[in-house]
Amino acid sequence: MKIISIKKKTVIAVIAVVLAAVAIIIFSVASSSSAAAPNGLTVVIDPGHGGADGGVVGTTTGVKESEVNLGIAKSLRHFLTESGYTVIMTRQSDKDLSDGSGSFKQSDMRARKKIIDEAHADLVVSIHQNSYPRKEIKGAQVFYAQNSETGKSYAEIMQRVLNGTLNSDRTAKSGDYYIIQCSDAPSILIECGFLSNPSEESMLVSTTYQQKVAYAILTGVRTILE
């Protein structure tokens, strides 16, 4: 009886090891196949401002727009990459792109334009935050280059998605922004919310909400390009 008992324990131990090994293999396969295959589409994400140019500032927390922009942009890069897109960022840290030649802002914008031009992107998404003297104003809003019918169409699609997912009630508009006019690539600029609105600011500084915004933008991108 003792020998049989030992054999049973050995068999059980072997089975446990085998099951554990199978579980590891399944997990590894699932993990390696979690990202979609490349879909042949390229998106440039432009986190607005950065470095010496912090953009607007939160009225309650004092957070810099550039920090919020980068947080949302990084989450968006993750979601897009997992969905099979090739993603190029104009900046990946809290630094500007100026090389010190000429005007700071012009130098920074020239560097962003160069990245966009070399990417041959199917879509450019510039991420920003808004501000307004009236603190009750809130909501995400999308802008497009005035003479771009494609940009207008894409912006209207993105605006509908953001209105439906971020509780916004705004309309896409044309905007005189260099970054959406500097190349032939279809481009939109998204003001993700108002840092001048205390309630919206408290959400925008949250990593969880930044991820929600990024996922909403992913949904818009997929609706536009797929």
The Cα 49–Cα 66 span in angstroms is: 5
Rounded mean pLDDT of 22-36? Answer: 45
The Cα 48–Cα 178 span in angstroms is: 11
On the question of pLDDT at 120 being above 60, the answer is yes
Q: What tens digit of pLDDT does each residue of 30-51 get?
A: 443 457 889 999 999 999 999 9
Region of poorest pLDDT, from 17-21, 103-107, 122-126, 175-179 = 17-21
Q: Residues with Cβ < 8 Å from 226, sequence gap 6 or more?
A: 39
pTM score of the predicted model: 0.84
187-194 and 141-144 strand pairing? antiparallel
Which helix (H) or strand (E) element contains residue 173? strand 173-174
**What's the burial of 22, exposed, middle or buried (CB within 10 Å: 0-12/13-18/19+)?**
exposed
Rounded mean pLDDT of 15-33? Answer: 41
